[in-house]
Amino acid sequence: MSKIMTVDILSSIKGAEPSEAVSKLFDVIKNAHPTNNNSFNNANNNAVSLNDLRDDVIVESSAIEKQIIKENFPNEKNGFLVVSKVIEE
Amino acid sequence: MDSQIKQIHQQLVNKQITCTALIQEKLDLLKKNTHNTVNSLLDTLALELAAKVDAKIAHGETIGLLEGIPFGIKDVYMLQGTYATASSDLLKNYKSAYTATAIQKLLDAGAIPLAKENCDSFGHGSSSENTIFGAVKNAINPDLVGGGSSGGSAVNVAKDYTVFSIGGDTGGSVRQPAGYNNIYGLKPTYGRISRYGLMAYASSTDCVGPLAKSIEDIRIVLNTMSGKDAKDQTTYISNAIDEASVLNYEDVKTVGYFKNFIESEAIDAQVKSDFLATLEKIKAKGIEVKALDFFKSDTLVSTYYTLAMAETASNLSRLDGTNYGERIESGSLKETYSVTRSENFSEETKRRIVGGNQVLSQGFSDEIYLKGLALRDQISENFENDFNEVDIILSPVTPSTPPKIGDSLKDPLAMYLSDAYTVGFSLGQLPTLTIPQGTTTGLQISAAKNNDELVLKFANFLKDAI
């Protein structure tokens, strides 16, 4: 199924529209002629080697960290953190 | 100017001043300042830490070089228990749950954080006007912008409210405000300092960068923050830069500059003539100066913004008011996301998110985003070839002088284009330092990747030579 999504939906920003200033920047790229269209030729390869991956371990958050995460939660009722209505579609 | 860090350290050790008095003096200056540099003052924490330093000195204990040295933090870094607002409505009440690696290293060394500093919201801007805390006013002329996005940090250092500050540089956000306020500002090689705990703008160019009034202070702070960090896997192991080695600058034999930067119509006549005069002085010291070819300014700016917008659209998609942030409840979950983001992001941030989603969407990605990546690779290759021919690349920081407050927001395209001289070095992930010399907004010194030491060496050379 193909569904066209507009930038306001993609961005989750009401009424968002492409801007003229940004479109002018994109026009420059459209009209450019890179000599090499292979964009993965490693000039800026920051990938990590498999041998260098950090250990996949669960790190317990400190009590203060957990407390702040709860404080940052936007809505709390009777000791529960309240999320918005779930998607019904 | 000589190292303020060393000077204050000596005063503390000799008991000429107390740390508490020093911190209180700086807090007072920050509190009453009218340049809009402060988002939140960390007075309780700072005074507690100062009392500990004083107690150590009173007990005759040795203190480290950074112990008791007051510094500022751009308000995009995490410092546990303090606000981290990114100068935005969305995060205006958000508290850091943890501390950024770079900041933790400074705390471990005993430096004392004074304030979370004003900046463009999420780093989106070149003037520090895109903020809910009021436009940052330039240190030299308060009618002009402080530069951005690390404007509050640069002005605090320039006004001596902080001894050094930690900014963030994605496309010039440390170097340009350093230039606008006549101080030093370094964007190190990408990956030298961990980005863990720095709010992500464009992850592939985001760098932690110090601002200070001397090369020596930049060196000290850089060494303290550098190093591999398992929490940011793009970091690498680097050697500390030695004090004596940066005073020996005989390694620099050839300096390059980009011809098209100087021949551009956009460059201010005075900036141009000052830059050319600087090149003559360098030649007079027996260093060869070479003109280099480079990409056109509009290509550099467009490549940078295309990639940065794509990355920021992705990075900021997590900000939807679910787990944190100023949630605005609406009919459904999707509506809640949408209203929360529409109401709480600034116009400039929304412009960049929308631009990013445009280039990442089907039908556009091949034509714009992937082409942007290909151009970036070419830019990097260009740098690699240049550094086979020259040791250092020298350039102005900005084409012109700082704009008046209010002018930049009216014309976003002009603001993007004003980043022409800084964004290329970001795309190349090169170490680049702004020095307060050469032109009215300073000079940028760049070297090959991982050669941050050579940048500091050449800065020391220019300090005496021009």
Backbone φ and ψ for B396, nearest 5 degrees, come out as -65, 165
Q: Is the model's pLDDT at A37 over the cut of 60?
A: no
| Nearest partner of B397 among B178, B90, B71, B149, judged by Cα | B178
pLDDT of amino acid B410: 87
| Nearest partner of B191 among B224, B150, B233, B240, judged by Cα | B233
Q: Average the pLDDT over B325-335 and give the result.
A: 92
Q: Which of A5, A26, A46 sits opposite B368 (nearest CB)?
A: A26
pLDDT in tens, B287-319: 999 999 999 999 999 999 999 999 999 999 999
**Residues B354, A17 contacting (CB under 8 angstroms):** yes
pLDDT of amino acid B395: 98
Contacts of B190 in chain A (CB under 8 A): 46
Contacts of B412 in chain A (CB under 8 A): 19, 21-22
pLDDT of amino acid B55: 98
Interface of A with B in 27-86 (CB under 8 A): 28-30, 32, 34-44, 46, 48, 52-54, 61, 64-65, 68-69, 71-75, 83-86
CA B170 to centroid of chain Cα atoms: 7
* Cα separation values, A79 from A75, B51, B94, Å: 10, 38, 20
Q: Residue A72: which pLDDT band, with cuts at 50, 70 and 90? A: very high
Q: Average the pLDDT over B7-22 and give the result.
A: 98
Instruction: Look at B342 and A14 and tell me if their CB atoms are within 8 Å.
Output: yes
Q: Residue A33: which pLDDT band, with cuts at 50, 70 and 90? A: confident
Q: Is the model's pLDDT at A27 over the cut of 80?
A: yes
Q: Is the model's pLDDT at B40 over the cut of 70?
A: yes
pLDDT of amino acid A53: 82
Q: Average the pLDDT over B164-169 and give the result.
A: 98
Instruction: Look at B412 and A64 and tell me if their CB atoms are within 8 Å.
Output: no
Instruction: Look at A39 and B98 and tell me if their CB atoms are within 8 Å.
Output: no
Q: Which two tokens stand for residue A28?
A: 């420059």
**Residues B127, B408 contacting (CB under 8 angstroms):** yes
Q: Is the model's pLDDT at A3 over the cut of 80?
A: no
Exposure string (b/e) for B52-86, b if CB count within 10 Å is 16 or more? ebbebbeeeeebebbbbbbbbbbbbbbbbbbbbbb
Q: For residues B8 and B63, what is the distance between their CA atoms, to the nearest angstrom?
A: 12
Is residue B449 helix, strand or coil? coil
pLDDT in tens, B46-61: 999 999 999 999 999 9
* Number of Cβ pairs < 8 A linking chain A and chain B: 184
Q: For residues B72 and B86, what is the distance between their CA atoms, to the nearest angstrom?
A: 14
DSSP state of A35: S
Q: In terms of pLDDT, which residue wins out, A39 or B78? A: B78
pLDDT in tens, B394-437: 999 999 999 999 998 889 999 999 999 999 999 999 999 999 99
